[in-house]
Amino acid sequence: MFEKFRITKFQSGLEKEISPEELDQIERSAEQIIKKEFEIGFGQSAFVYEDKENNLAHKVIVRDALNDVHEEAKFLSKLTELSNEVIVPKPAFSFDAKIPQKNKPPLYRKILSMERIDGPDFQEILTGKKELPDTFNFDSFFAALEKFFDAMHSERIGIYHRDVADRNIMIDNKTGRPVIIDFGNSVYRSDYLTDEIREDKQYENGPNDLEKLMELKNSVKHFLTKNKK
């Protein structure tokens, strides 16, 4: 399929040093992740491969978003402990990978390996592909998200997600807690916002996290009313 796989840059999201043996195992695992792309097919800017055996989700970037995988991993690391009510997946590792191909230019991929979440996203629920977990509570779910975004937007943390959508908000099956994923377009407030804050605590021409969250909340409310769930 392709020749010797090689990691050109490696970053650990764990609070420990990685031994050469562990890195070798990670490299072999990463090779299997890339092989999945050949099975799935090309053409996507990114895809996620679930590794249930190791309880990891591997996000493979084909074409870059605003942030590369190493920057996205840093956003995850900063937010995983922000709230007990909202889950942000813990990053495990991030890679830059070079895959030589015989008689072809090499492939370059970026991989972010993170905690796997057992649960559906709202895009899957609203389109009828998956069921709403019995643990879901509408009021507490969205109250927790609003509180989380307020804390995330605060001067102390200062992060804006900038892609709040049904596909990026999940529900943890076991606990019913909200899960926020995909920080590929996230920014630090200090790097992005220069305008005066308005009375409604939003910024002119700034990220619209709370506005998009309200749109999602209304869509879910309509869905629940329609389906009498």
pTM for the predicted model, two decimal places: 0.81
Q: What is the pLDDT of residue 157?
A: 93
Mean pLDDT of the chain: 80
Rg of the chain in Å (alpha carbons): 19
Give the domain extent around 97. Answer: 6-115
Planar angle of CA 52, 82, 130, nearest 5 degrees: 40
Tokens describing residue 154: 């605060």
End-to-end Cα, the chain, rounded Å: 48
- Residue that terminates a domain, selected from 94, 115, 136: 115
Same-domain check for residues 105 and 131:
no
pLDDT per position as a tens digit, 97-107: 777 777 888 77
pLDDT tens per residue, range 20-50: 666 666 666 666 666 665 554 444 567 787 8
- Please tell me the predicted confidence (pLDDT) of residue 89: 95
Same domain, 66 and 100: yes
Q: Residues 127, 182, 34, 41: is their CA dihedral positive or negative?
A: positive
**Residue 203 confidence (pLDDT) above 70:** no
Asked whether residue 162 falls in the same domain as residue 217, the answer is yes
Tell whether 135 and 209 lie within a shared domain: yes
Q: Rounded to an integer, what distance in angstroms lies between the CA atom of residue 118 and that of residue 15?
A: 24
The reported pLDDT for the residue numbered 178 is: 98
Distance CA 11, CA 29 (A): 15
Which of 115, 146, 177 lies at the terminal end of a domain, its last residue? 115
Q: What is the mean pLDDT of residues 41-70?
A: 73
Which pair of structure tokens corresponds to residue 77? 């690391």
Within the chain, where are the H helices? Answer: 20-40, 69-79, 122-126, 138-153, 189-192, 209-227
Greatest mean pLDDT among 58-72, 106-120, 208-222: 208-222
Task: Take residue 116 and report the two structure tokens written for it.
Answer: 């796997």
State yes or no: pLDDT of 109 exceeds 70. Answer: yes
Longest dimension (CA), the chain: 60
pLDDT for residue 34: 64
C-alpha distances (whole Å) from 27 to each of 153, 166, 197 are: 36, 33, 46
Residues 38 and 81 in one domain: yes
> Do 82 and 51 reside in the same domain of the chain?
yes
